[in-house]
Structure 1
Amino acid sequence: MGIRLIVPGNVRHGSGGNKYNAKLAEHLAALGEDVQTVTVDGDWPVGSVADRRRLADLLDDGGPTVIADGLVASGAPEEIARAAKAGTNVWILSHMALADHHGLEAKALAAATGIICPSEHAAAELRAKHGPLHIEVAKPGADSADISAGSEPPHLLAVAALLPNKRQRDIVQALGELQDLPWTAALVGSLDADPAYAAEVAAAVGHYGLQDRVTITGELSGEPLEEQWHRANLSLLISQSEAYGMVVTESLAHGVPVLVRQGTGAVEALGTTEAGAALDLSGEKALATAIRAWLTDSSLQQDWRNAARTARQELQGWDATAAVVAKAVMALAR
């Protein structure tokens, strides 16, 4: 069975959605599926008339099954409906609900053959916004990784593009209140996704006098990223909203515990282990208090590290993700 995977061309930094799409294509192919990944440029999630026309062309000649990233598809209900009516099975891969364009998204999801979400949290958000929907949950996998050696003093790691939603400025502010304790930290992620916000984060590092303790690395991959994980003792993903947070399972794959924000999909990624904590960050000092408690309690550090290493052994691979998707789309293709 042929599957065309349509992905957006206007997300150029290393986002979780981009990684999920690439891993899904790779592991669907490993299962024997004929997968074609096509990037469609445009000002998504709505796009211009010309953008939507290009999308329509890709939907119309995509064969029996198309999986379209929600950033592209959720703002194009007419194109989705037309392709579905013509006999194409159109699945929308909704990494997270659109912040805007409620009406367009509702119509697109209703017109689609089915919807794939990366987490129960993301699926629940869609249902809360749009009512009952045919959703298959295919949680992200995690690549195997070496266990972190850690550092002395402890090294804190936040891996995410520098974007307001990811709240790196809050991390810097919290670290600014912990200068009486030994630690180092790195903020690893694209500086180009939102240059103005990246500049604000850099300014905050300067404001608190943390230039010698907090490194803003930019986006890393391969060995440089692995070096950061090898040094890490604790990772942080305190996004205001998060569909899942693949960096959480990436952290656990390295045996590194994680702090996440309550009420986000990152809690689902962390699971029921004690490999970190889901924090109520409504209070101004909550993050600094949580990090201080960890930095000053060697038993807590050991407990979290042990739990992260246990969780590491239970992570599913991307083959399981692809199997869920293949089973869903193949059932309806028949």
Structure 2
Amino acid sequence: MHFVLPADAGDPASPSGGNVYDLRVSADLNRLPVAGDWPRPRDTAALEQTLAGIPDGDVVLLDGLVSCGVPEVVVPHARRLRLAVLVHLPLADETGLDPGTAALLDAKERQVLRAASAVIATSPTAARTIKKNHGLDTVHVVVPGTDPAPLALGTDGVRQLLCVASITPRKGHDVLVRALRKIDHDFRLDCVGPHRPFLRELPRDDRVRFPGPLVGEALTSAYAKADLFVLASRNETYGMVVTEALAHGLPVIASAVPDALGDGGLLFEPGDEDALSAALQRWFQDQDFRAALRAKALTRRAELSTWDESTEDLRRVLASLRP
């Protein structure tokens, strides 16, 4: 079985939940990385060549970022290959797209998903949305796994905040910083993630730092030193960083991550700056509220699935496509 995925999936300078997911579930698959400015590549020759080189009848898993924007390349191969498409985020759901571009990407994605033998989403919520938007009968769900992690030691239990996310409009750093600027309290927020042009548009606060992407021990250390994890995303299909935080027993205040968070923290409406500010103010002022969030995190921590379970779930879907 083959897995066609973005060429930067293994690049430590470009960490993302999608890339981590791809690498963790595909250890036993034949990985076929393709370079390109996905999902709207200027040149599709690399993808066309990769698909053309796969023997007739083989099972092929396609990352949706690579495949969903180019039906003219993918759909013809659906007649000879057993294609499964893994959708991390529907293309039209990316924040900042103009209506025309979003509609075009949505239409392209629909062609690809309807031609595929199987469609896989990374959360139940995403699967329901994809089924409804594209008129599909079945969308399989394979949620991300989580590595076991030691409990975070934190600082004083209050002041050290952590956000792990690429600095893009969809991740809502502008909402987060504006909400925090309303709070008169001694805190430090580290926004860990790759810098993007959107960083220049964010409001400034001396209590907020942007150290860039962290991986390995550096990222583990950031979780270990945190007292609270915050995420103000406008849209997520799952939210792996939330389960990573919960694996460390960190209290969580977040938006757009109902499946990852479960009952493990406080979920607020995406873009609701006032609700986020009120929740954070309560975090700093209310000891009982902090204790309740910690208890919720520890309960959810015990429920998290493993990467072995995720890998096995994916294998079952792909095995069902074999003749």
Name 2:177's counterpart in structure 1: 172
CA distance in 2, matches of 1:314, 1:126: 26
Matched, 1:57 2:49: yes
CA distance in 1, matches of 2:87, 2:215: 25
Q: Measured at CA, do residues 41 and 281 of structure 1 come closer, stay the same or move farther in structure 2, by a change above 3 Å? A: closer
Kept in 1: contact 2:251–2:297 (CA 8 A): yes
SS of aligned partner of 1:85: coil
Amino acid paired to 1:254:
H
CA distance in 1, matches of 2:147, 2:138: 29
Matched, 1:154 2:159: yes
Name 1:306's counterpart in structure 2: 295
CA distance in 2, matches of 1:9, 1:133: 31
Matched, 1:108 2:112: yes
Amino acid paired to 2:199:
A
Q: CA RMSD in A?
A: 1.7
Amino acid paired to 1:288:
S
Per the TM alignment, residue 57 of structure 1 is displaced from its structure 2 partner at its CA by 2.3
Name 1:90's counterpart in structure 2: 83
SS of aligned partner of 1:92: strand
SS of aligned partner of 2:83: strand
CA distance in 2, matches of 1:281, 1:112: 32
Matched, 1:285 2:274: yes
Q: Matched residue pairs, number?
A: 306
Per the TM alignment, residue 127 of structure 1 is displaced from its structure 2 partner at its CA by 1.8
TM-score (norm. length: structure 1)? 0.87
Name 1:16's counterpart in structure 2: 17
Name 1:219's counterpart in structure 2: 213
Name 1:260's counterpart in structure 2: 254
Per the TM alignment, residue 61 of structure 1 is displaced from its structure 2 partner at its CA by 2.5
Per the TM alignment, residue 45 of structure 1 is displaced from its structure 2 partner at its CA by 1.4
Residue range with higher mean Cα deviation, 284-293 or 58-67: 58-67
Per the TM alignment, residue 132 of structure 1 is displaced from its structure 2 partner at its CA by 2.0
CA distance in 2, matches of 1:130, 1:232: 40
Kept in 2: contact 1:10–1:43 (CA 8 A): no
CA distance in 1, matches of 2:194, 2:244: 17
SS of aligned partner of 1:39: strand
Aligned pairs (5 A) from 1:230-249: 230-249=224-243
CA distance in 2, matches of 1:140, 1:84: 26
Name 2:135's counterpart in structure 1: 131
Name 1:32's counterpart in structure 2: none
Per the TM alignment, residue 300 of structure 1 is displaced from its structure 2 partner at its CA by 1.3
Amino acid paired to 1:20:
Y
The percent identity for this pair of structures is: 32
Matched, 1:69 2:63: yes
Task: State the Cα deviation string for residues 94-141 of structure 1 (Å, max 9, x = none).
Answer: 111111212211111111111111011111221222112432100000
CA distance in 1, matches of 2:208, 2:75: 49
Per the TM alignment, residue 81 of structure 1 is displaced from its structure 2 partner at its CA by 2.4
Name 2:96's counterpart in structure 1: none
SS of aligned partner of 1:278: strand
Q: Measured at CA, do residues 314 and 6 of structure 1 come closer, stay the same or move farther in structure 2, by a change above 3 Å? A: same
Amino acid paired to 2:6:
P
Kept in 1: contact 2:231–2:253 (CA 8 A): yes
Q: Which runs of 5+ in 1 are unaligned?
A: 30-34
CA distance in 2, matches of 1:104, 1:169: 30
Which of 119, 124, 127 matches 2:123?
119
Q: Measured at CA, do residues 10 and 317 of structure 1 come closer, stay the same or move farther in structure 2, by a change above 3 Å? A: closer
The runs of at least 4 aligned residues of structure 1 exceeding 6 Å deviation read none
Task: State the Cα deviation string for residues 39-89 of structure 1 (Å, max 9, x = none).
Answer: 1112321323x41x3212222333411111101111222332222212x11
SS of aligned partner of 1:96: coil
CA distance in 1, matches of 2:270, 2:18: 25
Per the TM alignment, residue 283 of structure 1 is displaced from its structure 2 partner at its CA by 4.5
Per the TM alignment, residue 281 of structure 1 is displaced from its structure 2 partner at its CA by 5.0
TM-score (norm. length: structure 2)? 0.90
Amino acid paired to 1:17:
G
SS of aligned partner of 2:84: strand
SS of aligned partner of 1:236: strand
SS of aligned partner of 1:66: strand
CA distance in 1, matches of 2:247, 2:31: 27
